[in-house]
Structure 1
Amino acid sequence: MTGPSRGTTGFVVVGAALAGLRAVEAARAAGYAGPITLIGAETHLPYDRPPLSKAFLTTPDADPVHYRDADALRALEVDLRLGSPAVRLDPVRRTVLAGGRETPYDRLLIATGAEPRRLAHLPRTAGVLTLRTVDDARALRTAIRPGLRLVIVGAGFIGSEIASSARALGAEAVIVDAAEIPLVRAVGEVVGQALAGLHGRHGTRLVRGTGVAALLGGDRVTGVRLGTGETLAADLVLVGVGAAPATGWLAGSGIALHPSDGGVLCDEHLATSLPGVYAAGDVARWPNRLLGETMRLENWTNAADQAAVAAVNALFPERARPYETVPYFWSDWYGRRIQFVGSPAADDVAFVSGGPDEDRFVALYRRGDRLIGAATLDEPRKIMKYRRFIAGRGAWDRAADALAGRLPR
């Protein structure tokens, strides 16, 4: 079977970033010969986002890395519609309205990703930026200079990467985070505390347990006042308080969304509550049976892998398989590589190599009698051993063997 044939309404993918592109590629690789439409809000060809907070900022005049050029996309026989943000999904008529144009679908994949969260109580003013797109990154790169006083709101991965890049460019950086321990949801308290120490060791002040109460200045920001009453001078403020699923365009469609974070609710095959509609990437929340959790992941690896499975499941129901994965992500701070696999929802965390105050470590996460996660700092050769071990539902009491390399590959 080759999926819906030519002449039907075909496969429509909304979101032309990594997940959307991988879905198109997977559809063609699986033998789907019908029409494909790829709709994107940005005007740029699909590009690699992770460097935007790292090498892109520190390399003058660097261009984004595009996954495929226009010729390669044409070879996929895809109707590419860039600069066309989606505004409505009509599941009864099975159409998507984007760029002032209605597009009918037979199968639809939602891959619209996430949007930066903003601080609703603060006015929008010059000198206050967020980072999500290459245009955001260009504006930030233009602004950062030696001696610049940068205040970053949010000590997550994006904020931390930007602080690292700013320090490399000679700027002063202060990070403000409302949590006492940053990154708890991503890596847990133990490793979150360990990673927080990297900032101070590299000249970045980290202010924890308070938020920004007000912006100072008139037409342009000159500083921030914290909830503690302290005032920080600022030539630039970067808001990096996380991202929210880009689902505003789905209002009125009746699609089921998670009541807390707004992610699109999917089953184990990545099908949503609407017939013929699937979701993948930052926007999707689904039950990951391998780890026994319902998850919504915001990382490169998941966007690529999940979209490929969702596309095949949507187009070839007879081949449908549950999407199970051991999550993997990485981050680069101050010339050091942080990597994580699995889940931070653990009963215990133990450092089996190095320690929380050191610049190299391996930390393992136990849930019951299973190894459920692993975090490493500057141990790039070890992390994938743990990912394979977790995928095999490896027992905690054998986890040390994985570190020593004594487990079968």
Structure 2
Amino acid sequence: MTGTIIIAGAGLCGARAAFAVRERGYEGKVLLIGSERHAPYDRPPLSKHADKGSLSIQHVADEESYRVAGIDHLGGLDVTTIDPVGHVVTLSDGRHLTYDKLLLAVGARPRLLPGTENLTKVLTLRSFDDALKIRDGIGPGRRLAIIGGGFIGLELAAMARKLQTSVTLIESMPRLLARAVPAEIASVIEERHRLEGVEVLLQSGISSIGEDANGVQIELADGRAIVADLAVIGIGAIPNIEIAGAAGLAIENGIAVDHFMRTSDADIFAAGDCCSFPLQTYDGSRVRLESWRCAQDQGIIAAANMLGIVTPYEGVPWFWSDQYDLTLQIAGLPGLAVETVRRELSDGSFLLFHLGCDGRLVAASGIGRGNAIGRDIRLCEMLIAARAHPRREELASPSTRLKSLLAA
């Protein structure tokens, strides 16, 4: 197969797709276009592991690999418009490029608080350059305010405390990770952060944010004032849908795609953080996931389908977070559960099995030191994919091996 495949977005998703089309035997042009000056890299280490030595970029592949594979990486550029009829994209430098197939892997951008757009000491964490700015602003004797008690904020708090930074974390909800993990796991995370010296302020709205030469001033809704050298906003992300919407593609909580990562235009595909897709495992329920594994796998699936190799995306959602020596993992969609069964493990670790209204296992989550729960969560992924209906007493008992439930 020859022609031109253009991939808009040079993150993990786009890079995996570019290499995957080559591995599938595609002989035409492959153009990988991204706004960052860096070659594609992994984002999780920016918040999860940046406390270990100096902050370094972890590339998906080295430059030589792109050259050998015949992948043209165009950095520092954006795709600004798409003409689906003419199969043409316009780049931010004014160039017009034609494509046979187009993949939108344009990701998402951090959500901001009104009035903070031009503040230099109020940052977000999405890119390597963002991480460098944050790293330069923290350390012994420095004060960091984090707005948002989600994964990014909490991982950054753990990193900053390891670097002896004073941390205040401000969350508007009654608990941490309210939209992401069960309360039992969130309480363990909160307790650990408080133990490590993080000031956690829950149910705390923000009235104003300002800055001057001395730092950042945050006034809370209850009148309290927080002063910091640096503030980081971590209140979620917005999918980058603008060019897709302007081109007339269907939008539904992201760029809407089908099981094959295909948009409403047969020659345009989307994958990763920017798209919403139906989950086979959950009877076609449409979701949008900001997940390292999802971005990687969807890029590879999109590559196959762009080449006419019909391959549905059938992944089970999976996410992990490292904070201090704790790792939490989630498989499936806990929000669909009506009942939870708890299994106690050694060293204070535990698993939560989330059951739907018919007793089907729809999700599992757990927390423990190191990789204590990793194998069990992987087996739970397989049970979820198999639409298993395990007995509650078996789930609760540590003596029942999950592998035996899978065999059954």
Structure 2 length-normalised TM: 0.91
Contact in 2 for aligned 1:347/1:367 (Cα 8 Å): yes
Q: Which residue matches 1:94? A: 87
Contact in 2 for aligned 1:210/1:227 (Cα 8 Å): yes
Distance 1:408 1:268, change over 3 A: closer
More deviation in 135-144 or 184-193? 184-193
Q: Which residue matches 1:278? A: 269
Deviations 1:146-183 (CA, angstroms, capped at 9, x unpaired): 12111100111010000000000111111111111332
Secondary structure in structure 2 of the residue aligned to 1:184: coil
Residue identity matched to 2:340: V
- Segments of 5+ residues of structure 2 without an aligned counterpart are none
Q: Say if 2:118 is the partner of 1:124.
A: yes
What is the Cα deviation at residue 128 of structure 1?
0.8
Q: Which residue matches 2:352? A: 363
Q: Which residue matches 1:289? A: 280
Residue identity matched to 1:197: E
Q: CA RMSD in A?
A: 2.0
Q: Say if 2:380 is the partner of 1:389.
A: no
Q: Which residue matches 1:298? A: 290
Q: Say if 2:404 is the partner of 1:406.
A: yes
Alignment of 1:162-241 (within 5 A): 162-218=156-212, 221-241=215-235
Deviations 1:289-327 (CA, angstroms, capped at 9, x unpaired): 1123211111110001111111111221xx313211111
What is the Cα deviation at residue 193 of structure 1?
4.1
Q: Which residue matches 2:301? A: 309
Q: Which residue matches 2:312? A: 322
CA distance in 1 between partners of 2:159 and 2:361 (Å): 34
Deviations 1:72-109 (CA, angstroms, capped at 9, x unpaired): 01111112111112211121221111232111111111
CA distance in 2 between partners of 1:271 and 1:220 (Å): 50
CA distance in 1 between partners of 2:53 and 2:120 (Å): 23
- Of the three residues 44, 49, 56, the one matched with 1:55 is 49
Distance 1:354 1:228, change over 3 A: farther
CA distance in 2 between partners of 1:154 and 1:18 (Å): 25
Identity among equivalent pairs (%) = 34
Contact in 2 for aligned 1:348/1:365 (Cα 8 Å): yes
Contact in 2 for aligned 1:256/1:272 (Cα 8 Å): yes
CA distance in 1 between partners of 2:174 and 2:137 (Å): 29
CA distance in 2 between partners of 1:286 and 1:294 (Å): 5
Q: Say if 2:93 is the partner of 1:65.
A: no
Residue identity matched to 1:406: S
Distance 1:219 1:161, change over 3 A: same
Residue identity matched to 2:319: F
What is the Cα deviation at residue 194 of structure 1?
4.2
More deviation in 46-55 or 246-255? 246-255
Q: Say if 2:363 is the partner of 1:373.
A: yes
CA distance in 2 between partners of 1:122 and 1:213 (Å): 12
More deviation in 233-242 or 180-189? 180-189
CA distance in 2 between partners of 1:290 and 1:246 (Å): 26
Deviations 1:341-361 (CA, angstroms, capped at 9, x unpaired): 111121122321159xx9522
CA distance in 2 between partners of 1:238 and 1:148 (Å): 13
More deviation in 229-238 or 213-222? 213-222
CA distance in 1 between partners of 2:216 and 2:113 (Å): 17
Structure 1 length-normalised TM: 0.91
